[in-house]
A and B are shown apart, each in its own frame.
Chain A
């Protein structure tokens, strides 16, 4: 059972470089989201999508772009990486109801030098 798959698991970037974190889910979930997790800050929502073609900003969207061309995929793009974006990134999906369970990927650890 694949669930939510994130790639890559680890990445090191230099300041100013761009990259895309990939996220795919095979549960036919309409709702997908990206969180970042930092020590002492908990999980913070970056962007989310309630279905293909629909995206919106979360709590900390600056410096990140997303798109949702299919139900399965929700990539997160860093346009010009900054050291402040060093973090562990989690993609999650759910059925979208208020009490719906969030299914998380294993995370992508990003270091920006």
Chain B
């Protein structure tokens, strides 16, 4: 099982600030997914990155897949209270056995 290390584990910032969270591994991934989970709900897919060096933007969220496909980052610009949640990265082992998730970054944006 390829382990995914997410950092930081917890992050609390003020509204309007920028932030970056990370997802790292020692192994190469064919693809990586980012999910956001709000309290009392299941995770929801934000983006899938496939190509090394790929950058995808989703409004104020920017996702990057490392050139070597071993790491990924999520940058949020001008964070808003609605961005509060648990951010999870996940990868597929390539077989039929589902996604392996990192432990997540708990993000709180204070008004």
Q: B43, A42: Cβ atoms under 8 Å? A: no
Complexed CA–CA distance, A31 and B96 (Å) = 9
B interface bracket (residues with beta carbon within 8 Å of A):
20 to 34
Task: Flag whether B28 is at the interface (Cβ < 8 A).
Answer: no
Query: Within 8 Å CB of B45, what residues of A?
Result: 101-102
From 76 to 113 in chain A, residues with beta carbon under 8 angstroms from any chain B beta carbon are 90, 92, 96, 98-99, 101-102, 104-107
Complexed CA–CA distance, A101 and B100 (Å) = 13
Q: A98, B43: Cβ atoms under 8 Å? A: no
Q: B97, A98: Cβ atoms under 8 Å? A: no
Going nearest first, the 6 A-B pairs with the smallest beta carbon separation are A104-B42, A42-B103, A43-B101, A98-B92, A101-B45, A99-B31
Q: A42, B42: Cβ atoms under 8 Å? A: no
Complexed CA–CA distance, A40 and B48 (Å) = 24
A92-B102 contact in complex given A45-B97, A50-B96, C-beta closer than 8 Å: no
Query: Within 8 Å CB of B40, what residues of A?
Result: 106-107
Complexed CA–CA distance, A41 and B97 (Å) = 19
The distance from the CB of A60 to the nearest CB of chain B, in whole angstroms, is 12
Q: A107, B97: Cβ atoms under 8 Å? A: no
Complexed CA–CA distance, A106 and B51 (Å) = 31
A63-83 toward B: CB 8 Å interface, digit per residue (1/0)?
000000000000000000000
**Which one of A40, A44, A101 has the greatest number of beta carbons of chain B within 10 Å?**
A101
Give B1's nearest chain A residue, CB to CB.
A59
**Which one of B42, B92, B100 has the greatest number of beta carbons of chain A within 10 Å?**
B42
**Which one of B30, B41, B88, B101 has the greatest number of beta carbons of chain A within 10 Å?**
B101
Complexed CA–CA distance, A44 and B33 (Å) = 16
Task: Flag whether B11 is at the interface (Cβ < 8 A).
Answer: no
The distance from the CB of A76 to the nearest CB of chain B, in whole angstroms, is 14
Q: A92, B97: Cβ atoms under 8 Å? A: no
Complexed CA–CA distance, A58 and B31 (Å) = 20
Q: B102, A102: Cβ atoms under 8 Å? A: no
Query: Within 8 Å CB of B31, what residues of A?
Result: 98-99
A106-B98 contact in complex given A41-B103, A101-B48, C-beta closer than 8 Å: no
Can you report 9 residue pairs joining A to B where beta carbons are below 8 Å apart? A42-B88, A42-B101, A42-B104, A43-B43, A48-B97, A102-B33, A104-B42, A107-B40, A107-B42
